[in-house]
Amino acid sequence: MKIGVIGVQGAVSEHLEITRAAMERCGFTGSVEWVDRAEKLRGLDGIIIPGGESTTIGRLMQRTGMFERIREMGLGGVPIMGTCAGMILLAKVGDEQVKRTGQPLLGLVDMEIERNAFGRQRESFEVDLPVTILGGEPFRAVFIRAPAVRRVWGNAQVIARFNGRIVGVLQQNFLALAFHPELTADTRLHEYFLWMCKR
């Protein structure tokens, strides 16, 4: 199994580490690669788009030619997990902030995204969050200048809410999270994603 973490900016090494740990826990053999150019996308069984600044990541993905290729791979069924900035990029529709900054969106998940939905850094928070696909134990969710989903439609399935707002969405081969599992030691969401890649 070969998983790629899109490494143009943001919490890349954190995702590499936790994905490797998750792979070991799942008992899968394979590698997790730092993907910083379009050529390295070839042959990946799954793609992770990390947190960072979504405008920056989107622009740099476009300039490196990765943007279109990732979109095609996603449409072709390759599993993609996006956290925070990565979630924004997966959305089909963006809010006023997204439009004003000309933020490019991959447009893969049936959801409308709202950037910085909870406010600025001083409003960033962590909380134990129930996530439907994990069953019982809640997940320690770390929200940093996080987005939220205004609405979903079509095949998108809500897997987590905080104060009534949608913060986790699953749609076929796409897993979108408004928080940062890579900033915890809890590998469950990465394990879930690796099982998506295995299928």
Binding mask 102-141 for other proteins (x = CB under 8 A): x------------xx--xxxxxxxxxxx------------
Please confirm, yes or no, whether 123 is among the known catalytic residues. Answer: no
* Neighbouring C-beta atoms of residue 167, cutoff 10 Å: 26
Q: Does 56 bind other proteins (CB under 8 A)?
A: yes
**Which two structure tokens, joined as six digits, stand for 194?**
């690796």
Nearer to other proteins, 79 or 86 (CB): 86
Please confirm, yes or no, whether 182 is among the known catalytic residues. Answer: yes
**Which two structure tokens, joined as six digits, stand for 115?**
């950037």
What is the pairing mode between strands 80-83 and 46-49? parallel
Give the span between the Cα atoms of 171 and 64, in whole angstroms: 27
Q: Does 147 bind other proteins (CB under 8 A)?
A: no
Please confirm, yes or no, whether 84 is among the known catalytic residues. Answer: yes
Tokens 């899968």 identify what position? 28
Q: Does 85 bind other proteins (CB under 8 A)?
A: yes
3-class DSSP assignment, residue 41 = helix
Interface residue list for other proteins (CB under 8 A): 7-14, 36, 51-53, 55-56, 59-60, 63, 84-85, 97, 100-102, 115-116, 119-129, 142, 144-145, 180, 183
